[in-house]
Amino acid sequence: MDRRKIDDALVVLAFGRPRSLHGLWGTTIFGGGFQSTWKIQVAAQSFAVGFWNCTPGSSPIHLRVAIGTSNFGPQVTYQHGMTWGRMVNAANAWLWWRGYQRRFDFAGADDIELAWNRPGPSKRWVQGYGSVAESPYFDYGDAADCPPVGRNCLGSWTPEDVWYVSWGAPAAWPLPQVYTPRGTMARQWHWLSLYSYRHHGIRMTIVGALSQKKACVQSHDPCRGMNNSPRTAWRQLYESLNRDPRTAQTLPWLTDIRWEG
């Protein structure tokens, strides 16, 4: 697994929370019912075919499609993480079989939010994924109540736990939520990158900022206080990281959530 590789573009396809039904692993999708990992894999592959068909063959862009779940609910387990990793492996094998690998590849993704679950189950999912996966996953979650907002992090989470699921695990890349116009969430991730430098000898490398402006416009929720635009989210995080030489870095991506379907 080469976690150093950064592609030209990234899209996260978010499929909801982990679930098991009749011996099958999958998710409960947003606004719908259970979908197996096989159906999720087929949906991600269909997205890839659409990208292939709708972009010029000479296009130099390489797209990474991250297939996402979350750490919400009681079925966040080692086994689900392992099954998710195997699904991502199978999707990449399909790319090679179709000859699409020069234009895009698949990765995993997990919306790890500290209010949604305890660190134990969340870390076990990460370990299950990493036990089989040949591609990284992106943590597109939060760092609720972590410094400098609070003295620790939300609930039973510690900075070490958040560091592990977002960067310390060998498969992890952080793609954090940066929603707040005052820059609070950006400062939390700068602090975590500095925590990594101080306690593990290397800064946390963050690959981009996640906003939710489009999803707020699409919904009845105005998201007041959580409605950064993609450019604002990226700028806040970039400036927070690069004010400090210990955490200074490029920030390749900005991305925004929207509802589909």
What are the Cα distances from residue 153, in Å, to 140, 142, 148, 162, 208? 17, 10, 10, 8, 21
Strand ranges across the sheet with 17-21: 17-21, 24-28, 34-36
Most confident segment among 28-37, 56-65, 123-132: 123-132
Q: For strand 24-28 and strand 17-21, is the pairing parallel, antiparallel, or unpaired?
A: antiparallel
Query: What are 103's two structure tokens?
Result: 């234009």
What are the pLDDT digits (tens) for 205-259? 999 999 999 988 888 777 888 999 999 999 999 999 999 999 999 999 999 998 8
Range 86-108 average pLDDT: 92
CATH of region 9-256, choose from 1.10.287, 3.40.50, 3.20.20, 2.40.128: 3.20.20
**What's the pLDDT at 248?**
98
CA 46 from chain centre, in angstroms, equals 20
Beta carbons within 8 Å of 57's beta carbon, 6+ residues apart: none
Structural domain boundaries in the chain:
9-256
Rounded Cα distance between 154 and 117, Å, is 10
pLDDT band at 2 (very low <50, low <70, confident <90, very high): very low
Q: 171 near 134, Cβ under 8 Å?
A: no
Q: What's the mean pLDDT in 106-112?
A: 98
Q: What is the pLDDT of residue 98?
A: 87
The per-type count for the chain, helices as H runs and strands as E runs, is: 7, 10
Phi, psi for 186 (deg, rounded to 5): -65, -40
Average pLDDT, the chain: 93
CA distance 255 to 11: 8
